[in-house]
Amino acid sequence: MSVEARTPFASERDRPRRRRARFTTELTRILTLAGTVGFAVAIAVALLSGCAGDLKAAVSLKVVRSPETPRDASVIIDEQYIGPLGIVAAHGVRLPVGEHRISIEKSGFFPFDSLVRADRDDIVLPVKLEPVPD
């Protein structure tokens, strides 16, 4: 005897499950479409608001650290902390065109300050921190 012969209402019992599956499929299609439309609107708003505009040229700043200068000294450009000197010296920094104040500080050392002008050429900045006498 087949399963359907024993349970004549098998299709009746499966009806809610099929209805749920159909609903889930349709909901997925609607949410995918809504997400795509939302993403397109967000990109359009960003472009129209000038998010991508006003791009400025950048110049590479290479910091050359002397061996006696500690790697964990703090690099600050235009009053904004950039990172430890060892990482900045290894990877460099991109500066927008213009004048920038570069400070390198470490407890126990005199601070290093330099004013650089970024225009067309890359900048190489040799840095040596002098220890504070006891």
- 11: helix, strand or coil: helix
Round to whole Å and give the CA distance between 103 and 114. 7
pLDDT at 121: 85
Residues 24 and 81 occupy one common structural domain: no
Q: Tell me whether residue 39 is in a domain.
A: yes
pTM score of the predicted model? 0.56
Do the bridges between strand 74-77 and strand 98-105 make them parallel or antiparallel, or are there none, so unpaired?
A: antiparallel
Residues 44 and 63 occupy one common structural domain: no
pLDDT at 116: 93
pLDDT at 50: 61
- Joined tokens for residue 77: 């450009």
Residues 71 and 122 occupy one common structural domain: yes
pLDDT at 109: 94
Q: Tell me whether residue 133 is in a domain.
A: no
pLDDT at 12: 66
CATH number at residue 64: 2.60.40.1120
Provide the 10 A C-beta neighbour count for residue 87.
13
| Number of domains comprising the chain | 2
Residues 12 and 40 occupy one common structural domain: yes
pLDDT at 14: 73
- Identify the domain containing residue 95 by its residue range: 58-127
Distance set, CA 8 to CA 2, 3, 5, 14, 85 (Å)? 10, 8, 6, 12, 79
Per-residue pLDDT of the chain (134 residues; tens, 9 = 90+): 455 555 555 566 677 778 888 888 888 888 888 888 888 888 777 766 665 555 566 788 899 989 999 999 999 999 999 999 999 988 889 999 899 999 999 999 999 999 999 888 889 999 999 999 98
Residues 68 and 106 occupy one common structural domain: yes
Residues 35 and 65 occupy one common structural domain: no
- Joined tokens for residue 112: 């290093």
Reference 125, options 79, 97, 93, 87; nearest CA is: 93
pLDDT at 99: 93
Residues 67 and 18 occupy one common structural domain: no
Q: Tell me whether residue 38 is in a domain.
A: yes
